[in-house]
Structure 1
């Protein structure tokens, strides 16, 4: 088994489910690998067992690049999987298990790269800061947020960063498209509360909080958010038109996304804001009208559209429902017209001459939001060459998550071309 596949398998076998017992065993494993390669890690905890690891590798230039990833994973129900989600089994050319895609596979590529460098005496072209973080699958409070506030000095000199959700291949009518993320939608997780008058369920309600909340949530769920074409998504659509050799109708982007299949999936969720109700809490007995009712909403907004999003939410909720933020983070973006973006694409093409790199905006969120807050421009770049039959997007938080061994090995080679000193 190749080193990158072995590391990926090892990492998956650590159950770092969030919420759960924490990331400490996986963090200690990572710190041990780095120490064994002569790299001195800094290990810290934001709370018991919520452990992160950061290390710096000196390069030819003190201007630093951050490579960050998270050690935690979302829950997995073993009965739903073909193999146990924490087995790290290698079968059918893939490493299986929770985190194979999101994102222990990416961490294994970074670790295999620097371990190989240590054996060969290779030096990076610029300082590299490696961050293996806790708590990305929640709010990052115990991971990236803690790191940038309590250990800000570890990231001195970092101007750009690379991490998950970009750089993987997507089969688009026989062409291998590699979306490289230059931004992501902002996050607005909200708790909505309606208050009314408690009373007996058999009597006419004076002021029913449950009904008031349901009406507001229904208005929010039914709202058709307008299409807003940001520069990065417009550039992606331009690139897809060139690759496909056909026009994509910008006046019918939702329909076009459905028509174009995997190509359309690259922009379907990135052309508008969204607000999805996800939780409802009210009442304690069928014959009692409660005095309050609560809902939770997962809101996402495009870069530059935070105020428009919040104004719309308030209008739809009306004056009787209050909102508070469970988590609010702005939508970060990084420049497309930058030499570093070009270098990312060039590294892909050097290993796959058929690669077609394109800019991309993530629909969800990553720890890049925290690092953007201290001025680090983040790109989604976790290079993988995938077989056309693998539904990469569907495996994020899905069942039977797995990553091809050959894809991981490809990623190590791409990262080497991008990061190793050529002087």
Structure 2
């Protein structure tokens, strides 16, 4: 099983499934990945359903039937598309799937062809063992960017595929960070921050740079608004997920964490802080600014974009405060997806934690808030509680966060092998 996971990951990486974000320039790599997965599962007797909104953007949905048709079903989802990669920037060919220095190298190695490969390998092993789950398990390989041809398309046009599904696992969660020689913390995604991309437009007077005053200058007005936004300190949001994190992380460490000094407490934990801190509060990051065409001409309009990531449960109040920070005279257009928050305790999380400890006795699972956005945004609209659980036992000091969309993306072979065993153990309890 572990060997298959490595080989499947390499083969998936070798299929260039780059998603440029433009249907005209995105090829058929996703369909080729899904077809490869379909052939591997068909060898075990599992036949999937194929759904394609656009040629080349294939979605595969496979249901493993359980012994109790009345039991709530579980969804396991993963996407096969990847962001672009420039060969000139990489140490190896980003679509080679090369194994070097104990790593599988290539675009998608951690985002997220590793999880897709682990899932396929674990399912094949379960089928070899003659395992029949108690509840139906639904597996989805789709595409991610906005989900127009993947998760969102399936939810909107084929919701019957997810009949009975109440819980789901997917990306960004289940990876380990070593705190001590005898303690590795595995972060389990129980919540996901909201996404609100704001496009700001300021309008003013067009004229000569020596004449138009700053109170009529669109660039000055928009710059002042961005300064207020970027300097604002968003407060800690102690919702159910963060409260559970504080409590369970303290239990794992053997000492309570001081909630009044949470940032300092996290700083003392080294690399763990970089993964946990973004989930504690809302963030607003200006990302683009466009205005003008000549040094001595004041433009009549200025535009900017702000990437806002909203603490779970605060979507509505965030917008009110954001508009106050902007001030008058700024137009705003939003592209958004609301925050998600699933229960931070229960049988599913207990099964994740038990599977981790069974494979890695030094491992402890704790909940955390994911700062990125996943296909869970789409699946949650069906009332599904979504969790991040793509298990990997990572080596100490491995820059896991830097691998996402990064140059020389790679996943440790041993992490993939251990993750496959954890996932197999978890699925065998469902």
Greater mean alpha carbon deviation, residues 38-47 or residues 202-211: 202-211
Judging changes above 3 Å, is the alpha-carbon distance between structure 1 residues 61 and 154 closer, same or farther for their aligned structure 2 residues?
Answer: same
| Residue equivalent to 1:210 | 219
Query: Counterparts of 1:263 and 1:246 in 2: how far apart (Å)?
Result: 16
Match status 1:108 vs 2:109: no
Cα drift, residue 76 of structure 1:
2.5
Cα drift, residue 358 of structure 1:
0.9
Which whole-Å deviations, capped at 9, do the CAs of 1:74-128 have from their partners, x for residues lacking one? 2223333222221111122221111111110000001112223344433233211
| Residue equivalent to 1:6 | 7
User: How do 1:225-374 residues align onto structure 2 when only pairs under 5 Å count?
Assistant: 225-326=234-335, 328-374=336-382
Query: Counterparts of 1:297 and 1:48 in 2: how far apart (Å)?
Result: 33
Query: Counterparts of 2:339 and 2:429 in 1: how far apart (Å)?
Result: 33
Greater mean alpha carbon deviation, residues 355-364 or residues 399-408: 399-408
Q: For residue 407 of structure 1, give the secondary structure of its aligned residue in structure 2.
A: helix
Question: Contact conserved, 2:209 with 2:298, CA < 8 A, in 1?
Answer: yes
Match status 1:158 vs 2:165: yes
| Residue equivalent to 1:46 | 53
Query: Counterparts of 1:164 and 1:276 in 2: how far apart (Å)?
Result: 24
Greater mean alpha carbon deviation, residues 69-78 or residues 2-11: 69-78
Query: Counterparts of 2:119 and 2:42 in 1: how far apart (Å)?
Result: 15
Question: Contact conserved, 1:240 with 1:263, CA < 8 A, in 2?
Answer: no
Question: Contact conserved, 2:353 with 2:365, CA < 8 A, in 1?
Answer: yes
Match status 1:402 vs 2:416: no
User: How do 1:375-390 residues align onto structure 2 when only pairs under 5 Å count?
Assistant: 375-390=383-398
Cα drift, residue 400 of structure 1:
2.1
Which whole-Å deviations, capped at 9, do the CAs of 1:232-277 have from their partners, x for residues lacking one? 2122122222333445332232333323212323421111101111
Query: Counterparts of 1:280 and 1:41 in 2: how far apart (Å)?
Result: 46
Q: For residue 27 of structure 1, give the secondary structure of its aligned residue in structure 2.
A: helix
Query: Counterparts of 1:335 and 1:268 in 2: how far apart (Å)?
Result: 20
Task: Provide the TM-score with structure 2 as the length reference.
Answer: 0.92
| Residue equivalent to 1:415 | 423
| Residue equivalent to 1:140 | 147
Judging changes above 3 Å, is the alpha-carbon distance between structure 1 residues 246 and 262 closer, same or farther for their aligned structure 2 residues?
Answer: farther
Greater mean alpha carbon deviation, residues 65-74 or residues 115-124: 115-124
Which whole-Å deviations, capped at 9, do the CAs of 1:187-212 have from their partners, x for residues lacking one? 11111111222234453257222221
Question: Contact conserved, 2:280 with 2:369, CA < 8 A, in 1?
Answer: no
Query: Counterparts of 2:155 and 2:41 in 1: how far apart (Å)?
Result: 21
Which whole-Å deviations, capped at 9, do the CAs of 1:140-195 have from their partners, x for residues lacking one? 22221111001111111111001111112110122111111111111111111112
Cα drift, residue 285 of structure 1:
3.5
Structure 1 unmatched runs, 5+? none
Q: For residue 415 of structure 1, give the secondary structure of its aligned residue in structure 2.
A: helix
Cα drift, residue 31 of structure 1:
2.5
| Residue equivalent to 1:36 | 43
Query: Counterparts of 2:255 and 2:135 in 1: how far apart (Å)?
Result: 41
Query: Counterparts of 1:351 and 1:232 in 2: how far apart (Å)?
Result: 25
Judging changes above 3 Å, is the alpha-carbon distance between structure 1 residues 287 and 43 closer, same or farther for their aligned structure 2 residues?
Answer: farther
| Residue equivalent to 1:125 | 134
Give the number of aligned pairs. 419
Judging changes above 3 Å, is the alpha-carbon distance between structure 1 residues 211 and 268 closer, same or farther for their aligned structure 2 residues?
Answer: same
Cα drift, residue 52 of structure 1:
1.7
Query: Counterparts of 1:396 and 1:195 in 2: how far apart (Å)?
Result: 37
Q: For residue 131 of structure 1, give the secondary structure of its aligned residue in structure 2.
A: strand
Query: Counterparts of 2:202 and 2:55 in 1: how far apart (Å)?
Result: 36
Query: Counterparts of 2:122 and 2:280 in 1: how far apart (Å)?
Result: 36
Structure 2 unmatched runs, 5+? none
Question: Contact conserved, 1:230 with 1:271, CA < 8 A, in 2?
Answer: no
Query: Counterparts of 1:141 and 1:347 in 2: how far apart (Å)?
Result: 34
